[in-house]
A and B are shown apart, each in its own frame.
Chain A
Amino acid sequence: MIHWNSFSDFLAMGGYGFYVWGSFGVTALIMTIEPIMVSRNRKTTIARLKRQLRAESRAENRNTAE
């Protein structure tokens, strides 16, 4: 079923290895980095919003205490 005779044949891609793996490589890179960046952005946003929430509630407490 498998088309290739050996792993090195698979890597060589009949001479087109640079182009094929250049494509698949960049794709894999993008499809790993994108979710990671989205996830990191989410964490920083949540941290920032939590900080703002705490700062606001502290300000409120100060106002109601006076």
Chain B
Amino acid sequence: MFKIITAVIGRDLKLAMRRQADIVSALFFFVIVVSLFPLGVGPEPDLLRKLAPGVLWVAALLATMLSLPRLFADDYRDGTLEQLALAPHPLGLVVTGKVIAHWLVSGLPLALIAPVLGIQFDLSADALIVLTIAILIGTPALSGIGAIGAALTLGLRGGGVLLSLLVLPLYIPVLIFGAGAVDATVTGLGGEGHLSLLAALTFAALGFAPWASAAALKIALE
């Protein structure tokens, strides 16, 4: 079972490395969106500190969503997806591999850059640490849930916007607990509760989402 997942991860990572521009532009999008907020709301440190968790998380959501169509679209276009669906191993495992690979090139870099951006917002060291951990824990859930949306909207016109419409409501719990963890750290209450719930969400998402996505892919491939 793990061989299939690692094989898919290896393949997707190799393909992603050939298109590094895609990954880097999603990261730049994250940086730009986050930097727009101080320009928009003014440089007052108190306000920025309060806004920071929400802003960083929303920007992370949007940046993840930008890269979601790529999850299946390329393989769909050249027929690889059909072959993967017809292959004897469970499509759910293939999707699990793709989701992990997606996280490695989108969620993980976001988690690494976020603390740097957090400094712009004058967040304390505690908050930055919790922010990084939260984004690290939460982004796999985003990739997983996003895979369901990407599979449902495969090949449809207006795909990107429709994908956002479907996936953002499902992202809201991740946003609430992710930003909440940082908020709780800032106010001194401690973010452990939020982080635990976030971890629970990620486990649940990684457990169920690949199978829902596989079902959606089969519907799209009919």
A and B touch in the complex (CB under 8 A): no
